[in-house]
Amino acid sequence: MSNEHAHPTPASYWKIAVVLAVLTAIEVALYYIDRELELGSLNALILILLALAKFVIVVGWYMHLKYEKRIANSFFVAGFLLAIGLYGVVLASLGVLVIRGG
């Protein structure tokens, strides 16, 4: 079996880091914007989407899951979805339904 994998170059890793830094800056800016404008659930939705984007970028490109064998993908994604599902149900059943924005 070949050990050849197609991985990003160092230049690509730096570009990805810039994207991650920009996303973080937007998150922090949103936190302050929400304090002024009280965007509420819209703010929460955008912040969660931004965090999800950062999460996927790090897992896909830095952890190379994008280039990894299917079995590794399956285990990792299954653990993530199981945790989201399990604790989502637990929190919903305990009445923690809304994460307030700001």
Partner 1 sequence: MTDLIHEPEAGHHEEHEGTGIENRKLGMWVFLSSEFLFFGALISNYLLYSSRGGFEGTYPAEIYDIPFTSVSSFVLLMSSLTMVLAHNALTRHDQDGARTWLFATAALGSIFLAGQVFEFTEFVVEKGMTLSTNPAASAFYVLTGFHGAHVAIGVVMLLSLWGISRREGSLSEKHGMNLELVGLYWHFVDIIWIVIFTVVYLLSAAPA
Residues that bind partner 1 (CB under 8 A): 1, 3-17, 20-21, 24, 27-28, 30-31, 44, 47-48, 50-51, 54-55, 58-59, 61-63, 68-69, 71-72, 75-76, 78-80, 82-84, 86-87, 90-91, 94, 96, 99-102
The candidate with the shortest Cα–Cα distance to 39, out of 99, 97, 86, is 99
Tell me the two tokens of residue 91: 């929190």
Q: Residue 40: left if φ>0, alpha if ψ -120 to 50, beta else—which one?
A: left
| Smallest separation (angstroms) from partner 1 to the CB of 35 | 10
Q: Which is nearer to partner 1, 37 or 63 (CB)?
A: 63
* Closer residue to partner 1 (CB): 37 or 87: 87
Give the separation between CA 27 and CA 49, rounded to whole angstroms: 10
CA distance 47 to 34: 11
Least distance from partner 1 to the Cβ atom of residue 36, Å: 14
**To the nearest whole angstrom, how small is the minimum distance from the Cβ of residue 37 to partner 1?**
15
How far apart CA 19 and CA 52 sit, in angstroms, is 13
